[in-house]
Amino acid sequence: MNASFHLPVSAGFSMNCHGKLFDLSEPKVMGILNLTPDSFSDGGRFMNVKDALQHAERMIEEGADIIDIGAQSTRPGAKKLSAADEIERLGNIIAEIKAHFPQVLVSLDTFYADVVKLGFDQGLDLINDISGGMFDDKMIETAAETRLPYILMHVNPTYQTMHVADIDADIILTINQYFSEKVQQLRAAGVKDIILDPGFGFGKTVQQQFQMTEELGFIGFGALPMLVGISRKSFIYKSMGKSPLEISKETQALHMKMLLQNAKILRVHDVAETRQTISRFLKN
């Protein structure tokens, strides 16, 4: 690997989440809560507050450490929503979850600065931005102002191209170059805690994504904690001729492979199965 891609070392992999110390010495489970009608595998199921709270409670009981809330589908072909649309969908769900389940951390999956501000006012703990600050020029400065941990995902530079798989160079080198530049930008803006997400499902070929599962340990050089989101991703189920709901066994096998390469957060739909995988990993 090219030494010019060196990233600063994070001491101890602990995060300051809205005043709470979040210890990543052991892997954590991030449960997905989609407030969307059109997400690819669970769209429309948790659109109202009652259903959303019930699903959050179920995931917490199954072992979720973080609930990741998203009000906009980013699947291929999804309609792009405005920040105002996301804010309307979110309502006060973050505050409701924090009130009912204060022990759990809440992450907000958005690429809009104004949505982050809403979340922060309701007690948000982490920012999960798929865009690396590229879809809203106010996002990085807003993230810095909140002092919340920032999940930095590798993605193509525009919303229109985020699913275009046209990377010809080695995918690991490409991701590391991106992270090197983006981490420097975030640090300069004042973002203290950064989590890396290599961006499975976004602008990579099936072959490149399987390469990422084999070489995850080379991404970011272990300098910052890694989040992996492969749950129900098409590179798994399409390559096997299955549906998104038929690949639990295969997904957990890949999760174990990711844990062995020092993944610290697994972003998933199936919390109980993933918690069992982490338990097996910790016993070995």
Q: Where in the sequence numbering do the catalytic residues fall?
A: 233, 267
Alpha carbon distance 176, 52 (integer Å): 36
Q: Rg of the chain's alpha carbons, rounded to an integer?
A: 17
14: tokens are: 């602990």
Alpha carbon distance 70, 124 (integer Å): 13
Non-local CB neighbours of 21 within 8 Å, separated by 6+ positions: 14, 15
Q: Considering only CA atoms, which of 208, 263, 259, 262 is closest in space to residue 233? A: 208
Alpha carbon distance 27, 271 (integer Å): 13
194: tokens are: 């950064």
